[in-house]
Amino acid sequence: MNPYYLITLGFALASLVSPASRKLTYWLNVALSSALLYFLLFQPGSIGGTDRYFMLISGIVWLTASLFSLDYDHYPKLLAGSFSLAIAGMMVILLAKDAVTFLVGWEVMTVASYLGITAKEREGRGAYSFLAFGELSALLILAGFGLLTIQNGSVDFSAWKASPAWNVAFFLAALGFSVKMAIFPFHIWLPQAHGKAPANLSAQLSAVLTLMGLYGMVRLLLIARPADWIGAFFLLFGGLTAILGAAYAAGTEYVKRLPGYSTVENDGVLLALFGGTVITLNHGNVDLASFTFLALLFFAFAHSVSKGLLFLVAGRLENGTGRFPEVVHGRLSLLGVIAGYASALSLAGIPPFPGFLGEWLGIESLLQSFKIPDPGLKVLMMLVGSLVALTAGIAGVAMSKIITQGAQRAGGKNGYSVEDIGYAFSVAVLFTVGIVPGLLFRLINAPMEALTGQKATDFLGGVLGIKEGFLVVAKGFGGISPTYLALLVFIFAVGTYIVLKPFTKLKARRVRAWSGGLTNPEYPPIAHSTILLVTEGWLYGTMEEKGRLHWREKVSTAYSRLADGYLAFSEWFRHGVMRGSDSVYVAYILLTLIAGLVYLLYAL
Amino acid sequence: MKALSAVFRKGGKYLTVWLDYESGEAELEFTDSLPGRMIAPALIGETEPYMRIPPGTNAVPLTFGPAAGGLGQAGAFEILTYGERIVAIRPVYGYKGRGLEKMMLDRPIGESIAVLERAAGNFAMAYTYAFLKAVEANPDEDVWDVRKALLELERLYNHFNAIHKLAGAASQKVATMHFHALEEDVLRVFSRLTGHRYGFGSNLPGEVRILEPEVIQRLGRIKAEFRSLTDELLESKIFIDRLHTTCRLTREDVIELDAVGIAARGSSVPRDVRAFDRFYSYKPVTYEDGDALARLMVRIEEVERSFEIIEGSDVRSVSSDPSLKDGLNLGLAEASHGDVLVLAELENERLRWIGLRGASRINYIAFAKGITGNIFTDFPFGLESFGLNFADADLWQGGED
Amino acid sequence: MWMIKGLRKGVITSDYPGKVSEEELSPSFPLKAPEECPFGALENGSFDPKKCISCRLCNAPFGRKLDVDEVKNPLNFRRSLHVLFLDVGTCHACNREVAQLHSPYYDVHRLGIFFTPTPKHADVLLVAGCPTDGMIPVLKEAYELMPEPKRVLVLGACSNGAFCGRKVEDFVPVDGYVAGCPPNPVQIIRGLLKMAGRDVE
């Protein structure tokens, strides 16, 4: 029996156990995730290369989140069950060979997550918008898949091939997937939902749920290429999403919304890279297409693992109303603080973490757009590349905020617990892949061969003093070696310390910080973002009233107005048209009768 | 119109001084409670009422000072901010309370003057001018003519220092050094003229001591240099732009806060005690805009006027009748930043009670009003355009309460 | 245009520590011990120049004096000295004199003296002013935050107890004094150079 099917079944059964014991559910999840990782790495069996890669990323996040949940979950039992069921749904998506199973998995995942979000949020608005946009995405995917099924006469993915309606169907389905990935302007649900959900579920939602969107798009891309305009669309909107996500992440006052907006930003970059892959494939530039695809997959790994970890840490930082000034001391052990630093630094694109290489690969691929013959697309891709670079800078502001106002302040917990094992595991994964990315490249070989026939390991080389296999090369453009960079940092920083420590005779004396002679409170957390909020007030809609600085996202305001407008219309319809009096209904019947008679007269 | 000029405590009551800047009439009043003007708490040294923390604010109060490199003196500002903007601010007085006023009491008057000069070193000439105005029984025209020249000379180096600081804040590195050198030139003139770089020891009751009167000729070169430097500096659009609309005080603000000196004159309120000083024939310089640029222009114009006044004086050592008048007397002098007020009570030619009010005590509050709503980078422009210092702000009174 | 102005002005920087000109010193220091001093600079018949405020109310002959400093415990940081200036209650004249050290006339950077706004980078704490209640904790905090080796140089008559009866010495250990009210910039430079361990006349 295929071990993966067993594992899926195991997750589903674990969710049924939850009414009895939450801890048992989570321990089962831990065991199953570990088993999954074992099989993926050492006995992959007959699973496809792409599926294997995506499942690996998911497995790492699931393991960390389950270990975290053991101590974290003090919520209604619904949460544990929905956590597990959502994982089961995602496994179904990853293993699906036909459209119907895929959609079943998709719905299970969405509904289970919705139930999980309601476990914490009583009024349900964030959960409801999650469900609403989730169903919108499901509808679009259904439309796309439906069209393809009709065209090819079968629901099996293997039976689908390129056809006249491929572009339209691809676009519909991909749009559905990208709504799940929070493309602009369908992104407002993500920070709200992920901000309000319990942290273990948020980690899963941001890291893996959005990954499923990417998985769907990659799956379709592996079947056949779509037209250029689809690539351009995702390039443009991906870039916009990225910059908006980064800007709002840097400006937000809520601890859990910062990683939420960061997910919007990273998914925007992924969408832009997806668009880039499509365009480069269409113009026959195989090297560049493979490189862009490598960037896409590697970035997805870096994002998912770090974001999952960051959400877990943010869950511990959250206190009271969830704003930054309320972060208290003593919530995170030393490992927790390290986990906070590692995940935030990776998302900011700092070596020696995988985010650094992911960012480099992404920008490097988009800025090689000069190799595309079409002038319009060339310029578009380059502009989006610069936008992504700007995004990386602003993400640095956001990540430094969550480090200095969050992880740094919440340390000081004595003793370790089970969640620290999860932190240690994820941090180890981040360091390993960040320092020796070649290990991951081997796993990317399979999906890349399916797309372009090239291997990811083709992009590893060596030059001058760098040993073969440790230099990541963009063929004919540039190269970077995270391994040697990490080595350099280690030698200079740690080495200097080790060499000097036994030789220094000077004693160190600890003193306070100098603050004009007195003690001052620290700069308020909002000050971290004020430089952006005040100078780019047009982007945030910043308001400074009565000594209070606050902002609200304009798209959010637009949606609220839309919703209010619809409710007003609904009220009018209810009271104005559907009155409760019999005479009005009789009038309506008469009107319908007359209309029907008039139609018959005309038709005959 | 009358402005509240000073509040002291004497005989268990509040002694308030109201000054009418048009007629020059001062009115002393003993009251039981503080007058209702907005500046009253600052005049007795309390600045907490000026910091209004709006409810529901997400700003945090920080203290800038008292050993801050940017201020360079022992004084502090409490600033409420959420990042870039100053939401509310107040100066913190008290770090320079040395008890000098008590040291002036019950001593030969020459020693009291020596202590008074060292109350606010760079305004020493102004304080002694005001003090001697209050206590001299038979003021002699020639002596006061020289005293006037020394006061204007002090105004010169203080204005040069203010322009130097403004240029320095705008990173006009060359301009700031030129003006700093000009200030040193004037201090050297003082040194040769009176034997002390700040003019300490030159003024005594009934006499003024000048060592080398011919040194005054140097001012001709200093004036030419000042004109050429100012022309060059005002051509820099970047510099002007940093001062324009920075730290704006409206006319209403000035009147509400009873602001004095440069703060008032930069907002078109002509408050200058030289207008009704009998040794001067002077018409106040005013500018309209009320921002740092207007205050700079007021200073530049006043430098020109000071040069004229000094050139019109005959600077030399003069002696006259040193007798003093007993009783409670008021003296006013226009220092470079605003008017200083001295209320002296003498008995048998010795001080029994002294009340001092420096212009900084009032104008720091005006600065706080003007800088609210500006961003941090404009702070030094606002502050240096007023030319104040905390030593002068912490002076109050000595003698029985 | 600034370049032309600068070239026309020429070099105006003082030649000190080579030689000192009359312009740079003011003739207000007593050349001989006075017989009486209303401000307590005479104790048991011996004149303490550190407490002289140059009021010139005594009947001593006055003149220009450069060596008004006394440095007990110099450092060996000859060409690079970092100074923190701390005002604990001056009349602002000392502040202006210290500021003049950066003007083109004196330019202490050519001598390797640098001013820093934080005690953590400072070698010498240059204290001026009569210690007030509010500033005493600040003085102690600044002294404590300075890393070894550190020195304290006291500037002016106020900080030596001429006025308010309080001396900086009562609160932190002091390694050098510069007398004057306020000391001229070259006198301050001389004190700093001696504190840096350089030979100056």
Q: Where are the beta strands (DSSP E) in A447-575?
A: 460-461, 471-474, 478-480, 543-545, 548-550
Query: What is the pLDDT averaged over residues A184-190?
Result: 90
**CA pseudo-torsion sign A159, A163, A165, A168:** positive
Q: Answer yes or no: are the C-beta atoms of A357 and A472 closer than 8 Å.
A: yes
Query: What is the pLDDT averaged over residues B361-385?
Result: 94
Q: What is the pLDDT of residue A498?
A: 85
Which one of C26, C57, C142 has the shortest CB-CB distance to B195? C26
- Distance in angstroms (rounded) separating the CA atoms of residues B5 and A414: 61
Check pLDDT > 90 for residue A269. yes
Q: What is the pLDDT of residues A411-457, one digit of tens each?
A: 888 888 899 999 999 999 999 999 999 889 988 998 988 888 888 88
| Chain C from 136 to 165: CB within 8 A of any A CB | 137-138, 141-142, 144-145, 147
A514 touches chain C (CB under 8 A): yes
Q: What is the pLDDT of residues C148-201, one digit of tens each?
A: 899 999 999 999 888 888 999 999 999 999 999 999 999 999 999 999 999 887
Q: Which residue in chain C is spatially nearest to A511 when comparing CA positions?
A: C145
CA nearest to B45, candidates B128, B104, B101, B117: B101
Check pLDDT > 80 for residue A295. yes
Backbone Cα Rg of chain B: 20
Residues 6+ apart with CB under 8 A from A128: none
Query: What is the pLDDT averaged over residues B277-300?
Result: 94
Task: Output DSSP code: residue B324.
Answer: B
The residue behind tokens 């920075």 is B246
Q: Do C87 and B187 touch (CB under 8 A)?
A: no
The residue behind tokens 């008890």 is B99
Residues 6+ apart with CB under 8 A from A157: A96, A97, A98, A99, A102, A219, A223
Q: What is the pLDDT of residues A530-555, one digit of tens each?
A: 889 988 888 888 888 877 888 888 88
User: What is the three-state SS of A264-305?
Assistant: HHHHHHHHHHHHHHHHHHHCCCHHHHHHHHHHHHHHHHHHHH
Q: What is the pLDDT of residues B246-281, one digit of tens each?
A: 999 999 999 999 999 999 999 999 999 999 999 999
Secondary structure (DSSP) of A325-389: GG--SSSS-HHHHHHHHHHHHHHHT-TTSHHHHHHHHHHHHHTTGGGSS-HHHHHHHHHHHHHHH
Point out the least confidently predicted range of A241-245, A251-255, A343-347, A515-519. A515-519
- pLDDT bin (cut points 50, 70, 90) of residue A501 is confident
Q: What is the pLDDT of residue B141?
A: 93
A534 touches chain B (CB under 8 A): yes
Which one of C1, C38, C91 has the shortest CB-CB distance to B119? C91
- Distance in angstroms (rounded) separating the CA atoms of residues B399 and B397: 7
Which one of B68, B81, B88 has the shortest CB-CB distance to A516? B68
Query: What is the pLDDT averaged over residues A128-137?
Result: 90
**Residues B73, B75, B80, B82, Cα dihedral to 10°:** 20
Sheet of B318-319, strands arranged across? B203-204, B207-208, B318-319
Check pLDDT > 80 for residue A506. no
Q: Answer yes or no: are the C-beta atoms of A29 and A87 closer than 8 Å.
A: yes
Q: What is the pLDDT of residues A402-411, one digit of tens each?
A: 999 999 889 8
Name the range with the highest mean pLDDT among A109-118, B291-300, C35-44: B291-300
Q: What is the pLDDT of residues B138-154, one digit of tens each?
A: 999 999 999 999 999 99
The interface predicted TM-score (ipTM) is 0.95
Q: pTM here?
A: 0.85
Q: What is the pLDDT of residue C35?
A: 87
Burial bucket for residue A408 (CB in 10 Å: 0-12, 13-18, 19+):
middle
Q: What is the pLDDT of residues B73-93, one digit of tens each?
A: 999 999 998 888 899 999 999
* Percentage, residues of chain A above pLDDT 90: 54
Q: What is the pLDDT of residue A61?
A: 95
Q: Answer yes or no: are the C-beta atoms of A471 and A479 closer than 8 Å.
A: yes
- Label residue B372 left, alpha or beta by phi (over 0 means left) and psi (-120 to 50 means alpha): beta
Q: What is the pLDDT of residues B17-63, one digit of tens each?
A: 999 999 989 999 999 999 999 999 999 989 999 988 888 888 888 89
Query: How do beta strands C124-128 and C81-87 pair?
Result: parallel
Q: Which amino acid is at B213?
A: P
Q: Do A511 and C118 touch (CB under 8 A)?
A: no
Query: What is the pLDDT averaged over residues A178-201?
Result: 89
Give the distance, in angstroms, between the CA of residue A260 and the centroid of all CA atoms in the same chain.
Answer: 8
Q: What is the pLDDT of residue A535?
A: 86
Average pLDDT over chain A reads: 90
- Distance in angstroms (rounded) separating the CA atoms of residues C95 and B158: 13
What are the CA-CA distances from residue B42 to residues A359, B35, B37, B395 (Å)?
57, 12, 10, 12
Upper half-sphere CA count for residue A300 (Cβ side, 13 Å) = 30
- Distance in angstroms (rounded) separating the CA atoms of residues A431 and A427: 6
Check pLDDT > 70 for residue A122. no
Q: Which amino acid is at A5?
A: Y
Q: What is the pLDDT of residues A50-95, one digit of tens each?
A: 999 999 999 999 999 999 999 887 888 888 999 999 999 999 999 9
Asked whether the bond before A524 is cis by omega within 30 degrees of 0, the reply is no
Please give the backbone phi and psi of residue B90, each rounded to the nearest 5 degrees, phi first: -145, 145
Q: What is the pLDDT of residue A123?
A: 62
**Residues B378, B379, B381, B382, Cα dihedral to 10°:** 110
Q: What is the pLDDT of residue A121?
A: 62
Q: Do A509 and C147 touch (CB under 8 A)?
A: yes
Element (H, E) at B231: helix B219-234
Element (H, E) at C63: strand C62-63
Q: Do B118 and C163 touch (CB under 8 A)?
A: yes
Q: What is the pLDDT of residues A581-596, one digit of tens each?
A: 888 889 989 999 999 9
Q: Which amino acid is at A252?
A: T
Q: Which amino acid is at A434?
A: G
Q: Which residue in chain A is spatially nearest to C138 when comparing CA positions?
A: A517
Check pLDDT > 90 for residue A508. no
- Distance in angstroms (rounded) separating the CA atoms of residues A451 and A295: 14
Q: Which residue in chain A is spatially nearest to B82 when comparing CA positions?
A: A527
Q: Which residue in chain A is spatially nearest to B374 when comparing CA positions?
A: A534
Token readout for A504 is: 């220094």
- Distance in angstroms (rounded) separating the CA atoms of residues A211 and A216: 9
- Distance in angstroms (rounded) separating the CA atoms of residues B306 and C125: 38
Which one of C119, C135, C137 has the shortest CB-CB distance to A514? C119
Residues 6+ apart with CB under 8 A from A201: A79, A82, A83, A86, A113, A116, A117, A119
Element (H, E) at C113: strand C113-115
- Distance in angstroms (rounded) separating the CA atoms of residues B319 and A430: 87
